[in-house]
Amino acid sequence: MDVARTRGPVSMAVVCPYDVETLGALGAAVREGIARFVLVGEGDRVVQTAEDAGLDIDELGRLVAVPDPQAVEVAVTLAREGQVGALMKGMVSTAAFLRGVLDRSRGLRREGLLSHVALLDIPSYSKLLAVTDGGINELPGVAEKEWILRNYQVVARALGVREPRVALLASSESEGRIKANAEAVVLRERARVAFPDMRVEGPIALDVAVSARAARVKGVEGHVPGEADCLLVPNIETGNALCKGLVYFAGAIFAGVVVGARVPLVLLSRADLERSKLASIALGTVLVTAEG
């Protein structure tokens, strides 16, 4: 997955970087000229982890040694003051990380909604495929999905995707009373006005969204069937399971960021592979560069 089209290394703060795979991804990002890092957390523990990964702190950037309870606040302050262009979550809970980001007086809150955008390089698909939102919003309604679309638009523009094709995912193309299908009908009509440079269609089942053959057999026409750049999922379970299924069963390379705050947030699972962590760092830096 080649998404790191930046003008030079971006500075990124990493909160509590205490696992070897994360440090390995940081080292690879530095070697490839993608990013430099500010490592925020307990100094001795960061240094020991770096040594375990065969790295020197000076290779990665710089260390800001603080107790764990202060690490998120310090990293957020660095971002708010413009000292770093993005944040990355290490061995800290997602709830604590986001609580610091969303603090009303000292955080990085903007108008609107945070949402997660996953970008997948799937061997059997002809282009990168985005899935949103499988990480933040549990059961978004139409208004929330409109913000999720807006956040995806930021990613699409940063990647140079012109007129991105978005499938409003559902179990079928029926416009019946199923919640996801009914909301897709409302959202696609709103999107025609709110997002004139995007092709937003739905409800669309997964097979139709990504397979021209399935669309042809089912008689579904439009700009999106068989050509989706993005799948907007109806709930967090669908997005989470879809992304993990593509990674573990289809060999996809995964990158993920949270969009909607004042800086991009690289928010990963402890179980994510090193290559996914590196790809996520690269995606975060592309967003920083595009906004800069």
- Segments making up each domain of the chain, as ranges: 10-110+261-291, 115-250
CATH of 10-110+261-291, one of 3.40.640.10, 3.40.50.10950, 3.40.50.1370, 3.40.50.170: 3.40.50.10950
Closest CA to 272 of 115, 120, 114: 120
The residue among 203, 208, 213, 207 whose CA lies nearest residue 225 is 208
On whether the CB atoms of residues 133 and 116 are closer than 8 A, the answer is: yes
- Cα–Cα dist 95/211, whole Å: 37
CA distance linking residue 199 with residue 222, whole number of Å = 9
DSSP at 9: P
pLDDT score of 176: 77
- Helices (H), ranges, 102-211: 142-158, 179-194, 206-210
- Do residues 5 and 289 touch, judged by C-beta distance below 8 A? yes
**Residue 135: other Cβ atoms inside 10 A:** 22
Residue whose entry in the numeric block shows the structure tokens 């413009």: 82
Name, in order, each residue with C-beta under 8 angstroms of 172's C-beta and a sequence gap of 6 or more.
181, 203, 205
Q: If you count DSSP H runs as helices and E runs as strands, how many of each does the chain have, helices first?
A: 11, 11
- Beta carbons within 10 angstroms of residue 21's beta carbon: 18
Task: Report in angstroms the alpha-carbon separations of 67 from 6, 43, 61, 221.
Answer: 33, 8, 19, 57
CA-nearest of 32, 154, 48, 40 to 88 is: 40
Residues 6+ apart with CB under 8 A from 242: 131, 134, 206, 231, 233
Which tokens go with 242?
């879809």
Specify the CATH number of the domain 115-250: 3.40.718.10
Residues of the chain with confidence (pLDDT) below 70 = 1-8, 292
- What's residue 4's pLDDT? 47
Q: How far apart are CA 200 and CA 30, in angstroms?
A: 37
Distance of CA 44 to the CA centre of its chain: 30
Kindly provide the residue ranges of all beta strands, DSSP E only, lying in 71-114, ordered along the sequence: 86-89
pTM reported for the whole predicted model: 0.92
* Helix, strand, or coil (residue 252): coil
